[in-house]
Amino acid sequence: MTEAFLALAAPFVAALMALALGKRVPRLVAPIGVAGTALAFVAACVLTGRTLAGDLGVRSASLAYVPTGGLSFDIAFRVDGLSALVALLVTGVALAVQIYSIDYLRGDPRYPSYVAFVSLFTAAMLTVVTADDLFVLLVGWEVMGACSYFLIGHHWELREARDGAIKAFLATRLGDVGFVFGIFVLGLGAGTFSISGVQEAAASGELTTGTATLATLLLLAGVVGKSAQFPLHVWLPDAMAGPTPVSALIHAATMVAAGVFLVARLLGVFQAAPATLAVLAVIAAITMVGSALCALAEEDVKRVLAWSTVSQLAYMLAGLAAGGYTAGLLLLVAHGAFKALLFLCAGSLIHAVGSNNMTAMGGLRRTLPVTFVTMTIGLGALAALPPLSGFFAKDAVLGAIQEAALHGGALPGWAAWVALVAGFGTVVLTAAYATRMWLRVFFGAPAAEVPAAPNLPAHAEPHLAEAPAFMRWPLVVLAVPAALVGFLALAPGAWAGWLTGGGVSRPAAEALVHVSTTVLSLVLVLASAALVIGAWRRLDRGDPAVLLGRARPVLEHGFRVDDLIAAYVVRPVWGLARAVVAGDRDVVDFYVQGSGRAARLLGGALRLLQNGNVSVYLSLLLAGVVVLVVAALGVRA
């Protein structure tokens, strides 16, 4: 556990030091950020090595017992194969981001706070990864949400950044409301908030189907928010207003990966609730196809990759819903590698041309050779071209879904078929938008005019040349796992043996290579890429997305889900708020203020009588006596 605590503490201490020394000794900020993350990465490497050597197993440690007067909890942590895997992914991508940011944000006056929040973000994700208590996991989960708000809004002087940060915060917090209640339901149903205890309760049948269904549906709300699944996916494309390295960190290793990790960690609990698995599969099917269509119509390079992330996360969740534990996690690792690579390549493009839009690009393969080669590897992995990582990982997920559709399992058969059809459809769309981006960015002629990039740092000037060293070398390093990590699929037994802790002590070795899905998906990828290339040539190297016709504006605006939310959620809420304000002002305040005015009038009337004139007092006294006498005589009569 020493390595795990070191991995947790190093970025947290780096965050504190960056904040403390940022203004006094700004030149130390970059070394502090890199050193803290590098130390965490080394610790994660040691954990991984021990796991591969077979001497780690499952270890846990409790730092404190917290009595609550009811069901108590522990500040407990756990390290196993799953923790080591995701910790390695998180720290590796975070280290690349910290190094890349040295040149990308050079001269930025807010760089110290940026380093601090990236470091804290890393520590929060590692807390989620190593937590063995639901409340400890919740702490890391919520700290990530706060860090994402500040990092997306890093360039707060830009309206796009402010709006994107607020939107991300509200959308994820909305899902987290259900997530918190899900923790309570699951803990009370299992009799413990320990993740290990909850897994044991689900495996032994102590957790009833009804309780498991209610708890997982509530937890799924948080997963949908964090991992940007329909209908809470709307925040992720707008989060692109943040710095590009932040986008790489959020999309590849933290935040959005947390939802997938949670489902993998509690897969045994989710499998005790078939209804939840069906809901998850349907949500994933809708999300993967819809977001891929949006990516096909988008002009902004970063937004294309953002929609791609939404789609790939849906792939992972569909695979986990079908019982593909090792397949889903293989795609999580592969996606982390190639998506971090793609976002950092996008940052190099923006740094070179000064714009996010593909209309400002073209013919860059000779000007930016390193970016061209590395981004080609990333796009090939995204499109699932063999032998790159995405090919093996996506095939493993599709194979797991096919097994569930043909042979049954915890996921209902009809839901598995829905996910399978959507998965093959998304294969076509992914290859199409990846090929379109590759052609438009690196081939053809560059645009005559360059639109300004809304999220380009104000201190940065575009230079039509390859990125500086600190931005260039992370691309080369990340290209290696993006190309090769998929070969883990050829050793399913070793891969499954590594990934202990997914609801069962040692998951069975799934077949990660399936001939039928491999052949069909490869044919679909090649056919889709060929169609896009053909359309590009017929259009005289124009944008193949014009063939979408009237559907393109709708897809560019994300099926206008934002407009629907504004019409049917935001406006009714504003109307209700205005009604509440009017009721408070015109009803509640009317009676409160009216009672006050009545009291003042009565007091004023009594004050007229208290004028200090004795003759008036005697006259009033005599009048009172006369009234009483008359009243008495009247009663007697």
Confidence band for 494, pLDDT divided at 50, 70 and 90: low
Our CA angle for 419, 425, 430, nearest 5°, is: 115
Give the model's pLDDT for residue 611.
Answer: 67
Point out which residues pair with 61 in neighbouring strands. 77
Choose among 286, 297, 301: nearest CA to 379. 301
Confidence band for 502, pLDDT divided at 50, 70 and 90: very low
Contact 238, 247 (CB under 8 A): no
Instruction: Give per-residue pLDDT as tens, 429-444.
Output: 999 999 999 999 999 7
Give the model's pLDDT for residue 194.
Answer: 92
Question: Residues with Cβ < 8 Å from 563, sequence gap 6 or more?
Answer: 557
Mean pLDDT for 536-564 is 89
% of the chain residues with pLDDT over 70 = 93
Whether the predicted pLDDT of 604 surpasses 60: yes
The b/e string for 219-256 (b: 16+ C-beta within 10 A; e otherwise) is: bbbbbbbbbbbbebbbbbbbbbbbbbbbbbbbbbbbbb
E strand or H helix that includes residue 61: strand 59-66
The amino acid occupying position 127 is T
Give the model's pLDDT for residue 504.
Answer: 42
Identify which has the larger pLDDT, 379 or 156. Answer: 379
The position carrying tokens 């928010």 is 225
Confidence band for 522, pLDDT divided at 50, 70 and 90: very high
Confidence band for 609, pLDDT divided at 50, 70 and 90: low
Instruction: Give per-residue pLDDT as tens, 403-415.
Output: 999 988 889 999 9
Give the model's pLDDT for residue 475.
Answer: 93
Identify which has the larger pLDDT, 267 or 408. Answer: 267
Mean pLDDT for 208-225 is 94
Spatial distance between the Cα atoms of 193 and 216, rounded to a whole number of angstroms: 14
Whether the predicted pLDDT of 304 surpasses 80: yes
Mean pLDDT for 64-93 is 87
Question: Residues with Cβ < 8 Å from 23, sequence gap 6 or more?
Answer: 112
- Average pLDDT, rounded, for the chain: 88
Give the model's pLDDT for residue 503.
Answer: 43
Decide: helix, strand or coil at residue 301. Answer: helix
% of the chain residues with pLDDT over 90 = 56
Give the model's pLDDT for residue 510.
Answer: 64
Q: 255 in the Ramachandran plot: left (φ > 0), alpha (ψ -120 to 50) or beta?
A: left
Whether the predicted pLDDT of 593 surpasses 50: yes
Give the model's pLDDT for residue 61.
Answer: 81
Phi–psi pair at 235, nearest 5 degrees: -75, -30
Give the model's pLDDT for residue 458.
Answer: 45
Confidence band for 602, pLDDT divided at 50, 70 and 90: confident
Mean pLDDT for 309-324 is 94
Give the model's pLDDT for residue 540.
Answer: 86
Give the model's pLDDT for residue 227.
Answer: 92
Give the model's pLDDT for residue 447.
Answer: 61
Whether the predicted pLDDT of 610 surpasses 80: no
Whether the predicted pLDDT of 459 surpasses 60: no
Confidence band for 298, pLDDT divided at 50, 70 and 90: very high
Mean pLDDT for 530-547 is 90
Confidence band for 500, pLDDT divided at 50, 70 and 90: low
Spatial distance between the Cα atoms of 333 and 614, rounded to a whole number of angstroms: 97
Mean pLDDT for 12-16 is 94
Mean pLDDT for 582-593 is 80
Confidence band for 461, pLDDT divided at 50, 70 and 90: low
Mean pLDDT for 317-344 is 93
Whether the predicted pLDDT of 477 surpasses 90: yes
Give the model's pLDDT for residue 309.
Answer: 95
Decide: helix, strand or coil at residue 298. Answer: coil
Whether the predicted pLDDT of 71 surpasses 90: no
Mean pLDDT for 218-223 is 95
Choose among 166, 316, 324, 191: nearest CA to 251. 316
